Amino acid sequence: MDNALRLQYLQAMGIDVWVPRASRVSDLTLVHELQDEIATPKLVEAQAQVIDIESCALCDSQTQELSGIGNQQKEWLFFVEVVNSDDDSPDLLFEKNAGLLLVEMLRAIDLSVEEVFIAPLVACKALNQDTSSEFCWGHLMSQQKLIQPKIIVAIGDKAAQALLKTKQTLASLRGRCHYFNKIPVVVVEHPAYLLRSLLEKRDAWQDLCFAKQIFNKER
């Protein structure tokens, strides 16, 4: 990645850096580029990844089966808590601004959406119901077996608690390497939370850098 572009992403995440004025990328160009990238990732067909939802406790109140975003053939697997929204679009894993921030976070460690697979924490989205991990444990297992990643990143506290079968807070889990079926797991705050807590963007970037270090050791 071009150094000027990387610095721009770090600044967007709240990481203070100094850079000569001439090397800055315009904010408008950056926003357009991010919007294009988050809008175009190919959605994987739901039938290829959703488990038999008849055995899932969410099935009775299901509104939509969910698909992941990205490339199932890649070595990075991200699990993310499903966005609860009035918009029942099947591909809505993130609200727009949170999705754009995630793209920035990935690019800051030299990754793109096309180089990872982002899977929902549950196989289907229901209204007015807690999407806790107990409903879709089989979904998490099937995704890990299907993709066979080198590393897993849990985005948000619910994803972290589901994968690690714990009630510990994300703050107590971050900064350490955990394991899910012998696959390294790193936890990071959800982009939607970071949009409300700008001071914690630096911690999220450090967590992703930590994940990149672990990934490089696993290769």
pLDDT digits (tens, 9 = 90+) for 138-180: 777 888 888 899 999 999 999 999 899 999 999 999 999 999 9
Model pLDDT for residues 178-208, shown as the tens digit of each residue: 999 999 999 999 999 999 988 888 899 999 9
Give the pLDDT of residue 95.
Answer: 77
pTM: 0.72
Residue-number span of the structural domain to which 71 is assigned = 3-218
Query: What CATH number did the domain enclosing 137 receive?
Result: 3.40.470.10
The answer to whether 119 and 146 are in contact (CB under 8 A) is: no
Question: Is it the case that residue 104 has pLDDT exceeding 50?
Answer: yes
Please tell me the total count of domains within the chain. 1
